[in-house]
A and B are shown apart, each in its own frame.
Chain A
């Protein structure tokens, strides 16, 4: 058999070669010593060996869980952010268009009391001098 001269190596030759691979090395293995060593290791390091085998699997599961939860949060954030970005700004003041100047002053004074907005609004006395449009402007400024 001379494979150097045979460009089209036959399957049977390949099988025969493969069948011999590692034969010598396997023959030299001291099977009895290997069996004793395996039994000894099973006896002496059961927990450690179990953990070292399990660890990569648990790490993979943990990593997958973190990625899943993180991805879900990012997705939710992006979706809600995207929706807000496309939604036109809405001011509560727009809903108060039908209120009279007196009613608007009452709203402003209520806000002043409950939210401590005194530093942002004019003194209550000054509200008396504002008309309805100016009062709406004050309310709108409070909404940012």
Chain B
């Protein structure tokens, strides 16, 4: 009777990054599989159109892999990736020469539940997205990293090269302004 094989723990991001630095393309692919959805959520929350999402996710990973030597583990790879995503989205908006458009009708539409509740939830989220568009970029990103991604202030601060106190201030300003705009 064959002995059950121990299940190998998935490699840590650090191991995959080291493998990519050594030229292992499959490690890069695994990092994409691991973080693409989270990155897509962040980009969509920050105002990316769903039609642009795949291109933006790809571009973010390409930039991250090119610049991976600058990643020294100051924060999680995923958090670092999200901040690069913010830069990619900003460049994309500038290149398109237009305001970032949010596909409210596509990405915010709840697909389950009571139609009345669905409409209310969609309306609240639409207000939130509209409010986020009005925020300065740093406030918006800190809010998303905190409220959408659930990160600690220390982690946010390390990714954005600021202090935890400053991140906390940005978050509270963002919340205050969003409440005013949505109230």
Binding site for B on A (CB under 8 A): 1-4, 6-9, 11, 13-15, 17-39, 41-43, 49-50, 53
Distance in angstroms from A64 CB to nearest chain B CB is 19
Once the chains bind, are B179 and A9 in contact (CB under 8 Å)? yes
By secondary structure, the A interface counts as: helix
- Give chain B's interface residues, CB within 8 Å of chain A: 25-26, 28-30, 32-33, 36-38, 40-45, 50, 53-54, 57-58, 61-63, 65-67, 103, 106-111, 120-121, 123-125, 127-129, 143-144, 147-148, 150, 175, 178-179, 182-183
| A13 / chain B contacts, CB cutoff of 8 Å | 124
Contact B62 A26 (CB under 8 A): no
Q: A34 near B175 (CB under 8 angstroms)?
A: no
| Complex Cα gap A43–B40 (Å) | 23
Q: Which residues from chain A contact B150 at a C-beta distance below 8 Å?
A: 19
A25 touching B128, Cβ below 8 Å: no
Measured in the bound complex, the distance between the Cα atoms of B54 and A3 in whole Å is: 32
Are A29 and B62 neighbours in the complex by a CB distance under 8 Å?
A: no
Given the contacts A42-B65, A53-B63, A53-B66, A9 and B40 also touching, CB distance less than 8 Å? no
Q: Are B40 and A22 in contact (CB under 8 A)?
A: yes
Taken together as a complex, chains A and B put the C-alpha atoms of A28 and B61 apart, in Å, by 18
- Beta-carbon contact of B40 and A41 below 8 Å: no
Most buried by B among A27, A31, A36: A31
Identify 30 residue pairs between A and B in the complex whose beta-carbon atoms are under 8 Å apart, listed by A's number: A2-B120, A3-B120, A3-B127, A7-B183, A14-B147, A18-B144, A19-B147, A19-B148, A19-B150, A21-B44, A21-B45, A21-B144, A22-B40, A22-B42, A22-B148, A26-B40, A26-B53, A27-B37, A29-B37, A31-B32, A34-B36, A38-B29, A38-B32, A41-B58, A42-B65, A49-B63, A49-B66, A50-B66, A53-B66, A53-B67
